[in-house]
């Protein structure tokens, strides 16, 4: 199985260890991983701000990096970010001018792109991670992954409850998972929302932090480093000893 590793720009610039952990984890699970060196931003910030029509360069670059050109072919494209994966699935080639040159590439790519936890549970069907992380952890459900990609059930809906990320964390030796009071409440990051509506964003983030702190967690984890970055800023300003960590780092721990 040949995988194209899609690393969001903010992870590449600010949290490279998350990208490294994702790479190492996939390789330990027997996957052949390739990282296209010319990949850049997927265009999500522009789309979130109402400028999706300006993402042609991002679309074209993504297709060139991860599409099946020449001898290059990826069975799947995997990313440790639900929001970036969702952007590609919903917006890649959304403007007809973007996809005229490679209509088949666009359709094929959208079906191949997977968020990391989704890929591990649905494609690789991992049942034994052989990971060890002896800490009390709170899991933050990011909205894009939960409500759009279907990584976990929603508390406001009646039906079967499930969580792909929590099923993976359950395989980690020594990890104690905190039972939060509001398991799927938004942290307030919301991409550019945290800039345009700073006060609301911060208040929502403080509420999420308070829930975790009330459960005496050592770490807050999640599948989107963007949400965790937002929560990390609040934790640092509160001079809290609680740390943030991407789920890939926990699943890759020894």
Query: What pLDDT is recorded for position 54?
Result: 84
On the question of a common fold for 2-123 and 131-251, the answer reads no
Find the helix packing angle between 225-237 and 198-214, rounded to 10°: 80
For the chain, the structural domain boundaries read 2-123, 131-251
Three-state SS at 172: strand
Report the CATH number of the 131-251 domain. Answer: 3.40.50
Q: How many Å apart are CA 122 and CA 116, to the nearest integer?
A: 10
Structure tokens at 30: 């027997």
The chain-wide mean pLDDT, for the chain, equals 91
- pLDDT tens column, 136-159: 999 999 999 999 999 999 988 888
Q: Tell me how crowded residue 227 is: count the other CB atoms within 10 A of its CB.
A: 30
Domain 2-123 has CATH 1.20.1050: yes
DSSP letters, 98-129, are HHSS-HHHHHHHHHHEEEHHHIIIIIS-----
In this structure, of 32-41, 97-106, 130-139, the range with the lowest mean pLDDT score is 97-106
Structure tokens at 2: 């040949």
Beta carbons of 54 and 220 less than 8 angstroms apart = no
Please say if the pLDDT value at position 71 is more than 80.
Answer: no
Query: What pLDDT is recorded for position 92?
Result: 87
Beta carbons of 134 and 97 less than 8 angstroms apart = no
| pTM of this prediction exceeds 0.85 | yes
Query: What pLDDT is recorded for position 197?
Result: 86
Query: What pLDDT is recorded for position 210?
Result: 97
């Amino acid at each position: 199985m040949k995988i194209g590793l899609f690393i969001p720009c903010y992870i590449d610039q600010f949290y490279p260890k998350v990208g490294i952990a994702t790479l190492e984890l996939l390789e330990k699970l027997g996957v052949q991983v390739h990282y296209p060196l010319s990949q850049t931003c997927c265009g999500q910030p522009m789309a979130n701000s109402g400028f999706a029509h300006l993402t042609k360069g991002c679309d074209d670059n993504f297709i060139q990096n991860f599409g099946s050109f020449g001898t290059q072919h990826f069975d799947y494209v995997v990313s440790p970010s639900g929001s970036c994966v969702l952007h590609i699935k919903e917006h890649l080639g959304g403007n007809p001018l973007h996809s005229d040159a490679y209509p088949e590439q666009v359709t094929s790519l959208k079906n191949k792109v997977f968020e990391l936890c989704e890929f591990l549970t649905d494609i690789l069907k991992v049942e034994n991670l052989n990971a060890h992380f002896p800490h009390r952890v709170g899991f933050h459900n990011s909205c894009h992954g939960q409500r759009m990609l279907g990584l976990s059930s929603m508390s406001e809906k009646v039906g079967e409850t499930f969580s792909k990320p929590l099923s993976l964390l359950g395989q980690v030796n020594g990890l104690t998972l905190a039972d939060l009071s509001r398991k799927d409440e938004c942290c307030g990051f919301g991409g550019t929302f945290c800039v345009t509506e700073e006060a609301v964003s911060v208040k929502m983030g403080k509420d999420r932090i308070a829930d975790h702190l009330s459960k005496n967690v050592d770490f807050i984890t999640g599948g989107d480093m963007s949400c965790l970055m937002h929560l990390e800023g609040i934790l640092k300003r509160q001079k809290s000893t609680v740390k943030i960590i991407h789920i890939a780092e926990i699943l890759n721990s020894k």
